[in-house]
Structure 1
Amino acid sequence: MRENLEQYERLLETDEDAFEQPTTTRRELWAYYCYYNADSGVGPVTYGQALFQSALSAAGHDPAISPVVPGNCTTRGCVLPWGSGTRSVASVVLIANGVCFAVMSFLFVWLGSAADYGSFGRWLLLAATLVNWVFQFAFMSVRGAGQWKTAMGLYIVNYIAYGSTLVFFAAIFPRLARYMPHVRKAREEDLKDGRISQDEYDAIESLERNHISNVSTAHSNVGYVMTLAVSLSVLLPMRGNSYANNWALFLSTAYSIVFGVWWFIFQQKRPGPRLPRDSSYATIGWKQVFLALREIRHLPQTFIYLVGFFLLADGLNTTSTLISIIQNDQVSFSFLQITYLGLAQALCSVVSTLGFWRIQQRFNISTKRMFMVTNAFSVLLPFYGMLGLWTRRVGFHRIYDFWLYNVVFGLFQAPYYAYAQTMMSEVTPRGYEGMFFGLFGITNRASSVIGPNVVQAIVNASGNNWLGFPFLVGLCTAAVVVIWFVDVEEGREACRRFVDERKMVRVAREGGEQAEELVVAVSGRDAVR
């Protein structure tokens, strides 16, 4: 029955295999790694947030000092005018992040599924990448306190574009893995000829997904190291110069362009199926998400994972933002100090991602088990910050706390990103990567609607940044418990059934038959055989 169904799909061009999909080449794979190298986030996240927060602090004042004098912030607090009142600097940064995540949620639902059809995905990624680069350059114009509103606008647009590139680019790697030469041979020859079982093929493809995902993450961290090293070439000789930070941002953006452009040159055309009847690129996303929500009962493991990862990403993203706010205050927004700390994290990240991959490959450990190891540290990081409520010896009060944080984050959280997206690919139906990675993007980059809003309210009401950590400990712990119950093997099988059922319905529609008639007809032919 499946054979006949695939023939119908090829005839009607409703499946990606209806087109001759090219085998992944070494040049294409390295172009993919280079884009990850370029898209490390130094400009839009590390330097962008530091410039934004620096402008806010320069425009703010210490609420305990009267009369109000902008720029007199001390360690006791820093607020700035907001509406009819005031808000703390940390609260404004968290609000900006909340806006970013809300807009990304809308974009990923609207456009995520559209990326599965035709060549729309490649143009979508190109557009997001160009916006990301342009707004990083625009951030160079931020110079002082009077520009904090401009800085906020630039930060929001830049962060949204950067987050979009991560999501739309991540959706590509399952297809690259599927068409690697040895994986393709295993599927199209060994599996069809009965030399290997479906489970053995699943293990081959899963290992290749882990390989590409881990190596990509390692290259992202190599790019982080190289970008920071390039930035030091101006930060050290121009130490004390008011333009040093802006030139560092210029160099980091230039580095992104030099390494990122190769993907758009060497990527092969991998068109998806044509759009369904009565749909457009503007509407297909909403239709597909509605379909996905209706199919929860058919893909329970996929949605359990999305719920768990929603909580985990919310907790970890907000934890990272809160620690960055405290760190930027501690180092007085020094790009030089931020660069040194970032280098420590990036170097540890390169070692850990490659090390985790070697351990997994050597002992044949499942994706989920490797992911759970990293998740334990997702809870420990905010727990360490929570200790700062009762003592100043630990808990992000001294500079060595931030060295420790960046080393631990690099060693145990860098692989988290690789295994998170590999886990998503394990429970994503083939041909629906754009839709489900769009949902994954909502739970990842765009999930942090709860965390920033709750934490900014706590911080703004109390004036104490550390009071946000207890909430984050609870959020991350709940997430780890939910993910523990995800059954990856059951999820894979459910995805196969989902794809086959959708094939029957769509082939019937495109061929002008009723789904029931098609099932009867195909089943009848199989019976005759």
Structure 2
Amino acid sequence: MKFNKQQWEWIFYDWANSGYAMLVTTAVFPIYFKVVALQGGISSADSTAYWGYANSFSTLIIALLAPLLGALADYPHAKRRWLNIFTWLGIVTAMILGSLPANGTLAWLWLIIVYVISNMGYSGSNLFYDSFLTDVADDEQMDEVSSAGFGFGYLGGVLSFAVFLVAELTNGFGILDGNGVARFSFWLSAGWWLLFAWPLMKNGQQRYGVPDTENRIANSWQRVLQTLRHINHYRQAFWFLVAYFFFIDGVDTIVTMATVIGEDLGIKTTTLMIVMLVVQLIAAPFSMLYAWLAKKTSTRRALLLSIIVYMLICLYALKLKSAADFWVLAILVGTSQGGIQALSRSYFGRLIPKSDSSEFFGFYNILGKFSAILGPVLVGLATQWTGNSRWGIFSLVILFVIGLVIFLILPRLNDVKP
């Protein structure tokens, strides 16, 4: 892999915030929240549902603001500034999560409130990070650079998670109790994020942008509205986003709900932690494998394969009865999780005008975030209705089928001129 300095800085930002994604969003905090909620008198099924609702709500504000924020970031030298603002928001609130008490009837509520704010920082920073792809890579490199970002991101998640596991297996280095180890992981995610994100935060160079203006906010709204009025000029990008809305919803929901589903199956916390670690290890090389597959065939075919794999995952969820079944499900997720995310980003990046990349990635993120509202709610409702979380995961197959059908009827990328 031959990447230049700026590309490596961009790639390592994914390495940096993957510690947060792994420790806070995916592995440790969901379990910690369920423990605190149960101690506060909340049932297991309700705590699972509340976790889904919290993830939905935490993305709503960013989803609503994404096009405007993206348009604001397209002005000269603005993209890095907005990246830094939201990165600091995520880092500081992750530290606060590590400082909140675990005891008390309302402790779970305070955790959810701070998590909502923290996830806004994480989600918002990813909007600007994604849009930097067009600045660091040309069309021919996008698949490879985007996949490297996810691949190294998974490795960063593994290493930060390994530090947490050492703390877990050594009883908090001999000085922390169980809750203390969990809170340590939130501090660890914040420090990891800052350390490895700093090069891009400091040196990120914006190659493309729109002409500056005195009133950036008003002008940004005008640009967003103009894009919406002339959406027929970007028909391929628009319909890809509609397909993306559905299939990425299922992907993100499986990631955010995985650990609480495992808890509902009675799988031990330590086992869940190891499963999450293995998923990251599998996802890293498979992300690059999907980039190779896209180069050998096409990005479109590689994406279609990843969607089909996720449909099989949803069907397999009905079989979940034991830890072994959960292992199989997790391994299947690891094979395609990075590929579907990386190639979606690079595929879209080649469809849009480079000067307005942040604005268009704002629309990319708004659909991604709104889909993240639908999926967890769907899982929560199906779980509460049936009393079984397996049906919650299975219900996501609807989203993958819709996304697949829309993507199948899109013309090939080579037939469309952005």
TM-score of the superposed pair, with normalisation by structure 2:
0.90
Counterpart of 1:445 in 2: which secondary structure?
A: helix
| One-letter amino acid of the counterpart of residue 350, structure 1 | A
The whole-number CA distance in structure 1 between the counterparts of 2:218 and 2:93 is 28
- Structure 1 segment 307-346 matched on structure 2, within 5 A: 307-330=242-265, 334=269, 336-346=270-280
Q: Secondary structure at the match of 1:444?
A: helix
Displacement of 1:487: 2.0
Task: Tell me the equivalent position of 1:465.
Answer: 389
Kept after mapping to 2: 8 A contact 1:110/1:283 = no
1:482: how far off? Answer: 0.5
Report how far residue 446 of structure 1 moved.
3.6
- Corresponding position of 1:379: 311
Deviation of 1:331 (Å) = 5.7
Residue 233 of structure 1: aligned partner: 166
Question: What is the SS of the residue equivalent to 1:141?
Answer: coil
2:326 matches 1:348: no
- CA contact 1:48–1:139 (8 Å) conserved in 2: no
Q: Secondary structure at the residue paired with 1:263? A: helix
1:138 partner amino acid: I
Question: Is the contact between residue 79 and residue 206 of structure 2 (CA under 8 Å) also seen in structure 1?
Answer: no
Write the deviation string for residues 116-142 of structure 1: whole angstroms up to 9, x where unpaired. 112221111001101111111111124
Q: Does 1:437 align with 2:373?
A: no
1:170 is matched with: 130
* 1:369 aligned to which of 265, 284, 301: 301
Hey, what's the Cα distance between the residues in 1 that align with 2:210 and 2:233? 22
Q: Please name the residue that 1:44 is paired with.
A: 24
After superposition, give the CA deviation of every residue in 1:352-391 in whole Å (9 maximum; x if it has no partner).
1122223444x3x211111111111121122212x2xxxx
2:40 aligned residue (53, 59, 68): 59
- Which has the larger displacement, 401-410 or 445-454? 445-454
* 2:410 maps to which of 480, 486, 491: 486
1:379–1:153: structure 2 CA closer, same or farther, 3 Å change rule? same
Which residue identity is paired with 2:307?
Answer: N
Give, in whole Å, the separation in 2 of the partners of 1:418 and 1:482: 19
Residue 255 (1) aligns with residue 255 (2): no
Tell me: higher relative CO, structure 1 or 2? Use CA pairs within 8 A at least 6 residues apart: 2
CA pair 466-402 structure 1, distance change in 2 beyond 3 A = closer
Structure 2 CA distance for partners of 1:469 and 1:271, relative to 1, 3 Å: closer
CA contact (8 A) 1:348 1:411 kept: yes
How many Å separate the matches in 2 of 1:158 and 1:332?
28
- 1:259 and 1:299, CA in 2 relative to 1: closer, same or farther beyond 3 A? same
Matched, 1:32 2:13: no
Supply the distance in 2 between the matched residues of 1:271 and 1:489 (Cα, whole angstroms).
22
* Whole-angstrom CA distance in 2 between matches of 1:108 and 1:272: 17
1:355 is matched by which residue type in structure 2? L
Q: Distance in 2 between matches of 1:337 and 1:282?
A: 49
Tell me what 1:283 maps to.
218
- Report the CA distance between 1:145 and its aligned residue: 4.7
Instruction: Supply the AA of the counterpart residue of 1:44.
Output: V
The alpha-carbon distance between structure 1 residues 490 and 210, as it changes in their structure 2 partners (threshold 3 A), is closer
Cross-structure match for 2:182: 245
Cα 1:226–1:469, aligned 2, differ >3 Å: closer, same or farther?
closer
Query: Following the alignment from structure 2 to structure 1, what is the Cα–Cα distance between the partners of residues 114 and 267?
Result: 21
Q: 1:410 to 1:424 in 2, by over 3 A?
A: same
| Identical pairs, percent | 21
Task: State the AA in 1 paired with 2:346.
Answer: T
Distance 1:360 1:105, change over 3 A: closer
One-letter amino acid matched to 1:447: S
C-alpha separation in 2, matches of 1:358 and 1:116 = 31
Structure 1 stretches (4+) deviating beyond 6 angstroms? none
* CA 136–144 in structure 1, closer or farther in 2 if over 3 Å, else same: same
Q: CA RMSD for the aligned pairs?
A: 2.3
Which residue identity lines up with residue 202 of structure 2 in the other structure? Answer: I
Distance 1:333 1:103, change over 3 A: farther
Instruction: State the match for 1:123 in structure 2.
Output: 81
Once the two structures are TM-superposed, the CA of residue 324 in structure 1 deviates from its matched residue by 2.9
Task: Specify the code of the residue in structure 1 equivalent to 2:112.
Answer: M
Where does the alignment leave 5 or more consecutive residues of structure 1 unmatched?
1-23, 63-77, 80-87, 179-204, 388-393, 496-529
Answer with 1 or 2: which has the greater Rg: 1
Deviations, residues 86-117 of structure 1 (Å, cap 9, x unaligned): xx112211111121221121120231111111
In 2, Cα distance between the equivalents of 1:491 and 1:161? 37
Structure 1 pair 273–297 and aligned structure 2 pair: CA distance change class (3 A) = closer
Partner of 2:118: 158
When residues 252 and 326 of structure 1 are mapped into structure 2, their CA distance, relative to the original with a 3 A threshold, is same
Distance 1:140 1:421 in 2: 32
Structure 1, residues 131-156: CA drift from partner, whole Å, max 9, x if none? 11111111112423531111001111
Partners of 1:234 and 1:331 lie apart in 2 by 23
Tell me the SS of whatever aligns to 2:233.
coil
**CA-CA distance at 1:43 after TM superposition:** 3.2
Query: 1:18-75: per-residue Cα shift (whole Å, max 9, x none)?
Result: xxxxxx982222211211111111233122333223322222355xxxxxxxxxxxxx
Corresponding position: 1:137 with 2:61:
no
In structure 2, relative to structure 1, the CA distance for the partners of 1:420 and 1:149 (3 Å cut) is same
**Structure 1 position 269, deviation (Å):** 5.2
Task: Give TM-score, length-normalised by structure 1.
Answer: 0.72
Change in Cα spacing, 1:337 to 1:120, as seen in structure 2 (3 Å) is: same
Report deviation, 1:449: 2.6
Q: What's the counterpart of residue 104 of structure 1?
A: 62
Tell me which of 89, 100, 125 is aligned to 2:47: 89
Where structure 2 has 5 or more consecutive residues not aligned to the other structure, the ranges are none
From 311, 324, 341, the counterpart of 1:400: 324
SS in 2 for 1:422: helix
The number of aligned residues is 408
Judge conservation of contact 1:108–1:442 (CA < 8 Å) in 2.
Answer: yes
